[in-house]
Amino acid sequence: MFKNYYPDIYIKSVYDIDREALLNKGIKALLFDIDNTLVPMYQKDADEKITKYIEESKKLFKVAIVSNAAKKRVDRFNKDIKMYAVHRAGKPNKRQLLLVAEYLGAKPEETALVGDQLFTDIAAGNSAGMTTILVSPIDKREAIHIRFKRILEKLVLLNYKNI
């Protein structure tokens, strides 16, 4: 019953993504959440490590940011990396994900969504028919409403591991 929240791939961090396996699966585009996926929420700028990672990914895939955060946050993080980026994306709604994939020239089944939240990122990616990749949130210190969601996420993932 939680199927729409189950990621296809569950890994610790974006750096653990098996890019070769994704290419073999026919994935052409990667859509990234920012907060707690690429960098912690409190980190405004992209650091050297994540910049290098994105630059490497750009050689293999079309890449984009699909974030629910405000324009200011997304623009500042993206100022040097300059990915195609959407702010206030409205995840778990799939609409923006589908538009971004189309813009990048990838079908939903050729697109992977990478995020740290089941009820926004993964739900949106699954609804859109994309491959979904869940990463563990980088920073565990989160706002109370997100911590509550994390408890619910744990319950869903317990079920996921038992299937």
Closest CB to Mg ion among residues 40, 129: 40
Q: How far is the CB of 52 from Mg ion (least distance, A)?
A: 21
Selected binder of Mg ion within 17, 54, 116, 125 (CB under 5 A): 116
36/96 with CB nearer Mg ion: 36
Q: Could you tell me the strand order of the sheet in which 131-135 lies?
A: 9-11, 131-135, 111-115, 29-32, 62-66, 84-86
HSE toward the beta carbon, residue 49, CA cutoff 13 A: 6
Among the listed residues 5, 22, 28, 33, the single contact to Mg ion using CB under 5 A = 33
Residue nearest to Mg ion (CB): 35
Among 17, 36, 64, 127, indicate the residue that binds Mg ion (CB under 5 A).
36
Minimum Å distance from CB 137 to Mg ion?
7
Amino acid at 101: A
Strand ranges in the chain using DSSP code E only, listed in sequence order: 9-11, 29-32, 62-66, 84-86, 111-115, 131-135
Residue 153, Cα to own-chain centre: how many angstroms?
16
Q: Which among 11-19, 21-29, 109-117, 154-162 is the span making contact with Mg ion, rule CB under 5 A?
A: 109-117
CB-CB contact of 111 with 28 (8 Å):
yes
Binding-residue total with Mg ion (CB under 5 A): 5
**Which residue lies nearer to Mg ion by CB, 37 or 111?**
37
**DSSP label of 49:** H
Sign of CA dihedral 7, 107, 92, 34: positive
Sole binder of Mg ion in the list 28, 35, 134, 135 (CB under 5 A): 35
Nearest residue (CB) to Mg ion, 37 versus 126: 37
